[in-house]
Structure 1
Amino acid sequence: MIVASNEHSYYRDGVELFCMMLDQGMLPDGFAFSAVLQLCVGLDSVELGEMVHAHVVVTRFFMHTIVGTSLLNMYAKLGENENSVKVFNSMPVRNIVSWNAMISGFTSNTYKHLIEA
């Protein structure tokens, strides 16, 4: 349901579902974390992303390549290059998707600065 919320641009609804899940004592898995991190991008909310990042660390899902890639992708898309690099450097395993997320994030943020100038 969280993924569907994101796909249909119901970002707040997806976050509410995630919060309900936590309130009910259900532990998110890597797919739930990845989905909610995309919601943060849709909401353009670094603060919410940082809160989710804290949950990722506490639950030790930062060790999962998919979740780490979702984290760095979220930070990169929100223009937080330093945080995306920190996440990338802390990932125990990187794959081609992780590398592409880093390259894409830096490329898009570089072009944003050129357009704003």
Structure 2
Amino acid sequence: MLDADRACEKRTQGICALDFDIIIDGQDWDLSGFGLEAETAGDTATVTARFSNMGPRVLAYHFTRTGGRWLIDDLVILKDEAAAADHPWSLKDTLAAEYGPTARKHR
């Protein structure tokens, strides 16, 4: 789905589903106070990143092991100005809504 978003940006010469850098949770950056916590369970793992980027951020990177490789399955923003623990933002859900099989094909 990330490939579909990149193709959309190339085709339209503009912003499509993602309008920010998902790794730093922003368009601009001034990173500080960085820390990581990791949990694994079989073929899944979650790495929680806590840092400040013009405000406090908490992001959970969800991984799955496939074919002996760890791949990112989802990125969930748990805390920033727009997301909170009671209303997290999911990369997977956002891209599925835009490019999944039941998405509106408007781009």
Q: TM-score, normalised by structure 1?
A: 0.23
Higher relative helix content: 1
Higher radius of gyration, 1 or 2 = 2
Higher relative strand content: 2
